[in-house]
Amino acid sequence: MEKKDIIFTIGFATLVLLILLCFLLFFFIKYRARRNKHIRETEIMKKTFETALLQSQVEVQENTFSMLAKELHDNVGQLLSSSKMLLGITQRELGKSPETLTIAEETIGKAITELRALSKSMDKEWLEQFELIENLSTEIKRINSGKMLVIVFSHTGKLPLTSEKQIMLFRIIQESLQNIIKHADARHINIEIKNDDENLSVHISDDGKGFAGISGDGLGIRNMKHRAKLLGGNITWNQAEKGSSVTIDIPIINSEL
Amino acid sequence: MLYSTYTQKSNHFIFNFYILIQFPVYFLIFYATFEERRMKFLVITATVVFLIYHFYNMIFREGLFIFSTPSYTLGSVLVIVCCLVYFFNLLSSESEINYFRIPMFWIATGLLFYFVGDTVYMSLLGYIVKNNLDTEGRFYGYIMFTLNFLLYGLTTFGFVSNHVWKKKI
């Protein structure tokens, strides 16, 4: 073998190795691209499944609320109405009724009004006929009438959300208000709804004792997180010097409207 | 080259010192890249094996003034192994991979091309020199030009594409 041939062989062997390497890299990139596609598809499926699961959870909850609202209205409401009627009859029979009886009749009257408002706020069918602002104003009026605390509500007008999304947002605000009433020992609550072309933000703040001693992973909190996730947004809790606040940020998708 | 021209002596000892830094630097890059402990241990083992072998060659076998081709070949093979392990890790990764956002992918590709292409010539360097096959080193020059172009071209592309990709997003 001549010197030239040996060098040529070495060069050829190097070239063959480099070509083999090119093939190896080509197959690597091709395989990885297929795997990437598979990962993307799996992720989309997982996301769709998760959304469907959350949606069904919310639907089940809404149906339960509706059922409960109907039961409250038809059963408990009827019983209270009958009691009020009986008290009225007794008052008329007695001629001059004692003060306690009058107070009892008034109290039952109040209970009926409260019960109706409560059952309305839980009834999905009723909720679907109205907008969040209107529903929330009614809910706030109901809570304010108790005179235990004062809720100040400010907003920028009609919300650019579908009625279904408005119900979800309403439930988050409702849960947040319930939490404040139950745990925060607050006197004032501020609810502010702001929106621009891209985002909608709900800010709820109170002057209570904050989150001290409250579990951050309760069913209510989890439901709020689920609903915010379903709305494609996020929910954050903040502890202030006095009180606490909840902020819900939701992106606005104009095509949905 | 300058050293040989002025002193008329072999400059092989410079290359012996050069590869003493060159390969551990490559291993260090892989050590920083791998996340698994097992892989990091593999890189440390490769570095230790290379250093022991190279010192053994320099001190006991070939001497400081003869370029240690076995050490270079071992270093090359170990870098190739590291590159293949890196590719295997990338291949089996459960998350989506965008090559344009991973400079290390291009660095590893460049290193793989460089050392795969270089290994044949370097492992036969003793034979080539002994038989005076590549008298002026012209053939080696062509190989080196191509492989260096690939190594540094791919490395540069890795960093530039990452930057461009980030800007696009």
pLDDT per residue over A58-68, tens digit each?
788 878 888 88
Residue at token pair 């590291």:
B82
Tokens read off for B130: 């002994």
Cβ pair A17:B87 closer than 8 A: no
| Residue A255's pLDDT band (cuts 50, 70, 90) | low
Residue whose C-alpha is closest to residue A204's, from A125, A121, A162, A143: A143
Q: What is the number of CB-based contacts under 8 A between chain A and chain B? A: 47
ipTM of this complex > 0.85?
no
Rounded to a whole number, what is the distance in Å from the CA of B80 to chain A's nearest CA?
Answer: 11
Contact call for A13 and B120, based on CB within 8 A: yes
- Over the Cα atoms of chain B, what is R_g? 18
Does residue B96 or residue A249 have the better pLDDT? A249
> Would you call B143 and A31 a contact, using CB atoms and an 8 Å cutoff?
no
Structure tokens at A220: 């209510």
- The nearest CA of chain A is from the CA of B133 a distance in Å of 6
pLDDT at B164 > cutoff 80: no
Instruction: Give the model's confidence band at B166: pLDDT under 50 very low, under 70 low, under 90 confident, else very high.
Output: low
C-alpha distances (whole Å) from A120 to each of A66, A165, B8, B14 are 9, 18, 101, 88
Question: In A, which residues are within 8 Å of B120 by CB distance?
Answer: 10, 13-14, 17
Q: A40 contacts in B (CB within 8 Å)?
A: 96
Q: What is the pLDDT of residue B128?
A: 84
User: Hey, of B79, B97, B115, which one would you mutate to test binding to chain A, going by the most A CBs within 10 A of its CB?
Assistant: B97
Say if CB A231 and CB A165 are below 8 A apart.
yes
Separation in Å, CA A12 to CA A51, B68, B143, B145, B148: 58, 24, 11, 16, 18
**Percent above pLDDT 70 for chain B:** 91
B126 touches chain A (CB under 8 A): no
**Burial bucket for residue B167 (CB in 10 Å: 0-12, 13-18, 19+):** exposed
Which strands form A188-195's sheet, in the order they lie side by side? A150-155, A188-195, A199-206, A244-251, A234-239
- Asked if the Cβ–Cβ distance from A32 to B90 is below 8 Å, we say yes
More confident residue, A213 or A90: A90
- pLDDT for B67-111, tens place per residue? 888 899 999 999 999 999 999 998 888 888 888 888 899 999 999
Look at residue B168 and tell me whether its pLDDT is greater than 60: no
Average pLDDT over residues B50-59: 92
Q: Which of A17, A21, A39 sits opposite B96 (nearest CB)?
A: A39
pLDDT at B113: 93
User: Is pLDDT at B21 greater than 90 in this prediction?
Assistant: yes
Task: Pick the closest to residue A227 from A205, A211, A246 (CA basis).
Answer: A246
Mean pLDDT of chain B: 86
Do B133 and A29 make contact, defined as CB atoms within 8 angstroms?
no
Contacts A8 to B, Cβ<8 Å: none
For residue B124, list chain A residues with Cβ-Cβ distance below 8 A: 10
Domain spanning A134-257: which CATH class is it, in words?
Answer: alpha beta
More confident residue, A213 or B62: B62
Residue A78: both structure tokens together: 């009827």
Is B117 in contact with A17 (Cβ distance < 8 A)? yes
For residue A7, list chain B residues with Cβ-Cβ distance below 8 A: 128, 133-134, 139
pLDDT band at A256, cuts 50/70/90?
low
Report the range out of A127-136, A191-200, B4-13, B160-169 with the highest average pLDDT.
A191-200
